[in-house]
A and B are shown apart, each in its own frame.
Chain A
Amino acid sequence: MDLIRANRFTLEQLTEAYNETRNDYIVPMPMNVARFREYIYLYDIDLSASWVATRGDIIYGLGMLGIRSGRAWISRVGVLPWGRRQGIGRSIINKLLDSAGENSLDTIYLEVIAGNEPASQLFLTSGFQRTRELIVARRPPHSNHNLMELEEKPQIRELNRDQTLSLLEQRTGRPNWLNETDTFRKLSDLRGFSVQLPGGSQGWICYEVTFLQVTRTIVEVLEGDPVKVTRAALCALHERHPAQDAVLENLPGADPNWIGFSDIGYFEVFRRTEMVKVNS
Chain B
Amino acid sequence: MKTIIYIEDSRANRILVDRVLESEGYRILQAPDGETGIRLAMSESADLILVDLGLPDIDGQTVVTLLQRMPNLQNKPIVALTAWPADTAFQLAERYGLAGCILKPIEVKRFPLQIAAYLKETTTSKKSI
**Residues of A participating in the B interface, judged by any CB pair closer than 8 Å:** 19, 23-24, 26-32, 34-35, 138, 140-143, 212-213, 243, 245, 247, 267, 269-270
Contacts and interface: CB of A to CB of B under 8 A. Distances in A.
Interface stretch (B20-28, B78-86, B110-118): B78-86
A28 B61 CA distance: 12
A247 B60 CA distance: 12
Given A23-B10, A245-B61, A30 B56 contact: yes
Contacts of A247: 59
Interface in B57-101: 57-59, 61-62, 65-66, 68-69, 82-85, 88, 91-92, 95-97
A19 to B, nearest CB: 7
Nearest to A36: B56
Contacts, number: 55
Contacts of B54: 27-30
B55 interface: yes
Interface of B: 9-10, 33, 52-59, 61-62, 65-66, 68-69, 82-85, 88, 91-92, 95-97
B63 to A, nearest CB: 9
Top 8 nearest A-B pairs (CB, nearest first) are A28-B54, A32-B56, A30-B56, A245-B62, A245-B65, A32-B57, A140-B96, A212-B62
Given A23-B10, A140-B97, A28 B65 contact: no
Contacts of B9: 19, 30
Contact of A35 (B57, B65, B85): B57
A34 B96 contact: no
B24 to A, nearest CB: 26
B84 A30 contact: no
Contacts of B85: 26
Contacts of B83: 24, 28
Given A30-B55, A30-B56, A140-B96, A269 B82 contact: no
Contact of B56 (A19, A140, A212, A270): A19
Nearest to B38: A212
B42 to A, nearest CB: 15
A125 B55 CA distance: 33
A6 to B, nearest CB: 19
A269 B62 contact: no
Given A142-B97, A267-B91, A34 B65 contact: no
Contacts of A270: 88
17 contacts: A28-B83, A28-B84, A30-B54, A32-B33, A140-B95, A140-B96, A140-B97, A212-B58, A212-B62, A212-B65, A212-B66, A213-B62, A245-B61, A245-B62, A267-B91, A267-B95, A269-B92
Given A28-B84, A31-B56, A140 B61 contact: yes
A252 to B, nearest CB: 20
Nearest to B55: A30
A32 B32 CA distance: 11
Given A28-B53, A243-B65, A245-B62, 11 more contacts: A19-B9, A26-B85, A30-B9, A32-B57, A140-B96, A140-B97, A212-B65, A213-B62, A245-B61, A267-B95, A269-B92
